[in-house]
Structure 1
């Protein structure tokens, strides 16, 4: 894991595989008590539903909703791809 503190005081953790633990935000050179703290937990297990590959056949012009239920602690970040290209919320897939 590589980390650095940005100019605005934000702590950035890169490659968070070993980031689990308690982090404290303190102000001043000799700060004794934390002003803010957060506990980072890495997901121990994910539950993804549906599992495996599915084929969906629809008629042209129909709306399609692709459900995917993800559970984990902490809540996992979900992204979708189409033909190996990341889909963003602003993409129009028509």
Structure 2
């Protein structure tokens, strides 16, 4: 299932996603992954979450983004939920 949280800048989308991720980490039987483009919100997340800074990877196109997600999943088959904060990760990956 895919869920989008949309709204104008400053409407609290990231805060909602952090709350959802923290709650998921408490009730999840598997692992929860949170992907962001920088480390700004790392201290707001539960320690049990796996945090990945996508800004450290060269995600230049949608194929690279797909490979990035497949790589995350292939490293741990117990991943239950992946949160991707910031459409800039995807929108900066121009389709080539």
- Please confirm whether the aligned pair reaches a TM-score higher than 0.5, indicating the same fold: no
Scaled by the length of structure 2, the TM-score of the pair is 0.22
- Structure in which a larger fraction of residues adopt helix: 2
Scaled by the length of structure 1, the TM-score of the pair is 0.22
Q: Which has the larger radius of gyration?
A: 1
Q: Which has the higher contact order (CA 8 A, sep 6+)?
A: 2
